[in-house]
């Protein structure tokens, strides 16, 4: 099977590249070149007839990922299927199935069958869960089982995998010599892999046999997302030596994987204060040769539990502005509980708004929708305004529930509507588009 990178390197524009170009309003050749250099990756759901290829990377709109999955406390396959459908309906671009409880094969396959979104996962979750069930000790995980599991999940239709290849003995030694971490280790897969390495006194098999990982991903033309297992779980840990050691290794591996014909992304960074986000993205882009950057949040505060979806949206807007390519949403349940369907809905909406804010800053030439919305609001044309809103149903419902006496106004201002008064005073003098007015 020829991968997207191999096709691009041969000058071939694939059907998937054409679809991405059409969705982004770009020339297909622009997308082909981005795929060839590894600056763009393409995801799609091969087993779903309505799946639309999703492009992630340089020059493309920032995409939103929604994560779902069971836990050891709550395992309801129907609930996960519902969450997958909600995420797709709300406009998520990709989905990650991150289950750690119950029949993990059954959950994964049910989710894959329920959505047309490209689905990703973290294979270490199932690998360590099965080791605990069988041996009552995750350190007894057999590396050969891990590689077999990766292929099984890919064969099921998983299109991108967060694989923790950047944790190695060097990374762990940086963590040990650092002596402290205010937020501990925040990654489930990363923490279990560190524990496996320490107990077995062996190298991470995903790093040691990175060529095998690449061969499996290449076989299915899936995207290898280099997991951020040592990411900061507190803003005071942001950019510490352990995190940066893993980032350097992941960026090196991104280049190696790309040269092997694999589509590659780099992941990061977790909890990051707002003033460090731009530097984080600059480092990833410079060190990886502009590999697409998949960002979790980031969350720029440690005190927003209950509203972490808002905190993360602030971080996501800044990340999108400075060049992040895929944002993993955060829900209101973050740090507190397993998200339900409504948490998924609110998380996707907040993140879509955040990346929109980031993108209109990153791409100033893509602001026509903002201008059209502003003009419709100025003209009090509510039906036209809704066409440009990210959440028209929400806006219409709020307006309907608090209907004004004068239909052209709203109950915020009523008789004191500035728009209505302004149009009455100035009329056509302000009721034009600048271009239409010949300015």
Q: What is the mean pLDDT of residues 27-36?
A: 98
At 370-383, the pLDDT tens digits run: 999 999 999 999 99
Residue 350 has pLDDT above 90, yes or no: yes
234 vs 424, residue with greater confidence: 234
Residue 406 has pLDDT above 90, yes or no: no
User: Do 148 and 204 touch, CB atoms closer than 8 A?
Assistant: no
Q: How confident is the model at residue 364 (pLDDT cuts 50, 70, 90)?
A: very high
Q: How many helices (H) and strands (E) does the chain have?
A: 19, 10
Query: Average pLDDT of the chain?
Result: 94
Residue 273 has pLDDT above 70, yes or no: yes
Q: Which of 346-355, 372-381, 413-422 has maximum average pLDDT?
A: 346-355
Q: What is the mean pLDDT of residues 255-279?
A: 96
Domains in the chain (CATH in brackets) are 44-365 (3.20.20.540), 382-429 (no CATH)
Q: Tell me, letter by letter, the H, E, C secondary structure of the chain.
A: CCCHHHHHHCCCCCHHHHHHHHHHCCCHHHHHHHHHHCCEEEECCCCCCCCCCEEEECCCCCEEEEEECCCCCCCCHHHHHHHHHHHHHCCCCEEEECCCCCCHHHHHHHHHHHCCCCEEECHHHHHHHHHHHHHCCHHHCCHHHHHHHHHHHHHHCCCEEEECCCCCHHHHHHHHHHCCCCCCCCCHHHHHHHHHHHHHCCCCHHHHCHHHHHHHHHHHCCEEEECCCCCECCHHHCCCHHHHHHHHHHHHHHHHHHHCCCEEEEEEEEECCHHHHHHHHHHHHHHHCCCCEEEEEEECCCCCCCCHHHHHHHHHHHHHHHCCCEEECCCCCCCCCCCCHHHHHHHHHHHHHHHHHHHHHHCHHHCHHHHHHHHHHHCCCHHHHHCCCCCHHHHHHHHHHCCCCCCCCCCCCHHHCHHHHHHHHHHHHCCCCCCCCCC
Strands (E), 44-164: 54-57, 63-68, 94-97, 119-121, 160-163
431 vs 355, residue with greater confidence: 355
Residue 56 has pLDDT above 70, yes or no: yes
The answer to which of 48-52, 192-196, 306-310 has the lowest mean pLDDT is: 48-52
Length of the chain: 439
Position 417 scores a pLDDT of 86
- DSSP H helices, 301-391, are 308-322, 341-362, 368-378, 382-386
d(CA 186, CA 173): 18
At 198-212, the pLDDT tens digits run: 999 999 999 999 999
Residue 439 has pLDDT above 50, yes or no: no
d(CA 110, CA 173): 40
Residue 436 has pLDDT above 90, yes or no: no
3-state secondary structure of 11: coil
3-state secondary structure of 329: coil
Location of structure tokens 């250099």: 37
3-state secondary structure of 37: helix
Position 204 scores a pLDDT of 98
Residue 437 has pLDDT above 60, yes or no: no
d(CA 19, CA 28): 8
Position 50 scores a pLDDT of 80
């Amino acid at each position: 099977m020829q991968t997207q990178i191999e096709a691009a390197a041969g000058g071939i524009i694939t059907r998937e590249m054409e679809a991405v170009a059409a969705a982004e309003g770009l020339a297909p050749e622009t997308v082909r070149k981005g795929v060839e250099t590894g600056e763009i990756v393409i995801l799609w759901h091969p087993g779903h007839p309505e799946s639309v290829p999703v492009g992630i990377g340089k020059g493309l709109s920032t995409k939103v990922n929604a994560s779902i999955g069971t836990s050891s406390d709550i395992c309801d396959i129907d609930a996960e299927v519902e969450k997958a459908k909600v995420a797709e309906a709300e406009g998520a671009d990709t989905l990650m199935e991150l289950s750690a409880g119950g029949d993990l094969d059954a959950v994964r396959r049910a989710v894959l069958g329920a959505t047309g979104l490209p689905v990703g996962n973290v294979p270490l979750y199932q690998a360590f869960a099965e080791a605990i069930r069988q041996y009552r000790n995750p350190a007894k995980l057999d590396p050969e089982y891990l590689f077999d599991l990766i292929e099984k999940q890919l064969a099921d239709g998983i299109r991108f995998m967060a694989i923790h290849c950047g944790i190695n003995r060097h990374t762990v030694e940086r963590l040990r010599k650092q002596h402290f971490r205010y937020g501990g280790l925040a990654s489930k897969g990363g923490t279990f892999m560190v524990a496996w390495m320490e107990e077995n006194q062996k190298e991470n098999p995903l790093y040691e046999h990175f060529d095998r990982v690449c061969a499996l991903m290449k076989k299915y033309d899936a995207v290898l997302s280099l997991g951020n297992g040592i990411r900061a779980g507190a803003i005071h840990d942001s950019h510490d030596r352990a995190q940066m050691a893993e980032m350097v290794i992941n960026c090196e591996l991104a280049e190696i994987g790309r040269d092997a014909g694999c589509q590659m992304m780099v992941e990061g960074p977790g909890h990051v204060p707002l003033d460090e986000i731009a530097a984080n993205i600059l480092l990833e882009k410079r060190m990886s040769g502009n590999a697409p950057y998949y960002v979790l949040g980031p969350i720029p505060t440690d005190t927003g539990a209950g509203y972490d979806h808002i905190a993360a949206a602030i971080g996501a807007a800044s990340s999108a502005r400075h060049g992040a390519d895929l944002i993993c949403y955060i829900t209101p349940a973050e740090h507190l509980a397993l998200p339900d369907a409504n948490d998924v809905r609110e998380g996707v909406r907040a993140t879509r708004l955040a990346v929109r804010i980031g993108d209109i800053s990153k791409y100033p030439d893509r602001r026509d929708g903002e201008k059209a919305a502003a003009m419709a609001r100025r003209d009090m044309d509510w039906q036209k305004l809704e066409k440009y809103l990210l959440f028209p149903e929400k806006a219409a419902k709020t307006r309907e529930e608090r209907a004004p006496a004068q239909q052209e106004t709203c109950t915020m201002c009523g008789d004191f509507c500035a728009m209505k008064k302004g149009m009455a005073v100035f009329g056509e003098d302000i009721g034009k588009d600048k271009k239409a007015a010949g300015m």
